[in-house]
Amino acid sequence: MAENTEPARTTRTTARARAGQVGGTATADRPTLPAPTSRGGQRTQTAPTPQEARQDGAPHRKVAVVTGAGSGIGRAVAHALIAAHWTVVLAGRRAQALAETSRLAGPLDSGGPAVLTVPTDVTRPDEVDALFATVRERFGRVDLLFNNAGTFGRAAALEDLAYDDWRAVVDVNLTGSFLCAQAAFRAMKSQEPQGGRIINNGSVSAHTPRPHSVAYTATKHAMTGLTKSLSLDGRPYNIACGQIDIGNAATEMTGRMQTGILQANGQLAAEPVMDAADVARTVVHMAELPLNANVQFATVMATNMPYIGRG
């Protein structure tokens, strides 16, 4: 899993203040919201609001927020949603990584879906609030949150894990996921037409631990509770919530799986991995169901990884 390579911020800037349409240029720390322009020089306003779409007969273009969109699974899911004609808002701490995700998606069709980068630290309530305020200001609604930002943290024997290391994982994986889900929920409850979908990124660690992963495993188990609570509390408002539990998609996080990672028997072993694009296809399938249907839990894993049975 990627470590944050940015220096600690000394000046707090909100996501709303730092939002920027992609163009390969870092957009961090802008004092005011920049005028939205796309890579092709189009205005993002070419993406109609749902109300505009209904008036001119154009199809409703759905709006997704993807956290942790600057790498790995978040990037793959963002690309798959863009390819499926969603308007996608890319969130994560590193503005340049988000811009690279947008650049790698290729050129946008004229009048097609928009892509917006909004540098956001999901552990900061003000930045999460600003992210969703920006999305609603630009696009009028939120149809999907892919709640993906996460960190594995430091691998350590349970008795050696420092409080700060525990806290860092809880802050991103659990509190950050809660903050994003709550902000999306509020938007989905209040928008017209009401409703939307939240897809939480759990893990096979939401079911079974690896050695020396207490913070990651505990937060991913907690993600299952978040998913179930959102599903129940969302019923009155047409808000669906599902969870994808991934095992060994090839990302920065799984570099160690490919070279050798500690097993339950104390040995190091390399493990099979799979393509993150195969996870992304599953997320798009979950996202595109009508809101009265929901994949509650899906497990997508490298077929031969040592997880099922006794390894």
Ligand X SMILES: NC(=O)c1ccc[n+]([C@@H]2O[C@H](COP(=O)([O-])OP(=O)(O)OC[C@H]3O[C@@H](n4cnc5c(N)ncnc54)[C@H](OP(=O)(O)O)[C@@H]3O)[C@@H](O)[C@H]2O)c1
Q: Of 27, 67, 87, 117, which one interacts with ligand X (CB under 6 A)? A: 67
Q: Is 217 in the site for ligand X (CB under 6 A)?
A: no
Work out whether the CA dihedral 55, 291, 287, 126 comes out positive or negative. Answer: positive
Q: Is 253 in the site for ligand X (CB under 6 A)?
A: yes
Q: For residue 122, what are its two tokens?
A: 């999901």
Alpha helices in the chain (DSSP H): 15-18, 50-56, 72-83, 95-104, 125-139, 163-169, 177-190, 214-234, 255-259, 276-288
Residue number with CB closer to ligand X (181 or 246): 246
Q: Is 15 in the site for ligand X (CB under 6 A)?
A: no
Alpha helices in 140-213 (DSSP H): 163-169, 177-190
Residue number with CB closer to ligand X (203 or 227): 203
Q: Is 270 exposed, middle or buried (0-12, 13-18, 19+ CB in 10 A)?
A: exposed
Site string for ligand X, 266-295 (x = CB under 6 A): ------------------------------
What is the chain's Cα-based Rg?
Answer: 19
Residue number with CB closer to ligand X (23 or 140): 23
Task: Report in angstroms how near the CB of residue 193 gets to ligand X at its nearest.
Answer: 29
Q: Is 129 in the site for ligand X (CB under 6 A)?
A: no
Q: Is 215 in the site for ligand X (CB under 6 A)?
A: no
Task: Report in angstroms how near the CB of residue 56 gets to ligand X at its nearest.
Answer: 36
Residues catalogued as catalytic: 216
Window of 34-42, 77-85, 89-97, 288-296 that interacts with ligand X by CB under 6 A: 89-97
Residue number with CB closer to ligand X (187 or 199): 199
Kindly report the backbone phi and psi dihedral angles of residue 133, in degrees, each rounded to the nearest multiple of 5, phi listed first.
-65, -40
Whether 216 and 169 have beta carbons less than 8 Å apart is answered as yes
Name 79's Cβ contacts closer than 8 Å, sequence gap at least 6: 101, 104, 105, 277, 280
Q: For residue 203, what are its two tokens?
A: 């893990």
Residues that bind ligand X (CB under 6 A): 1-2, 4, 67-68, 70-74, 92-94, 97, 120-123, 148-151, 172, 176, 201, 203, 246-249, 251-254
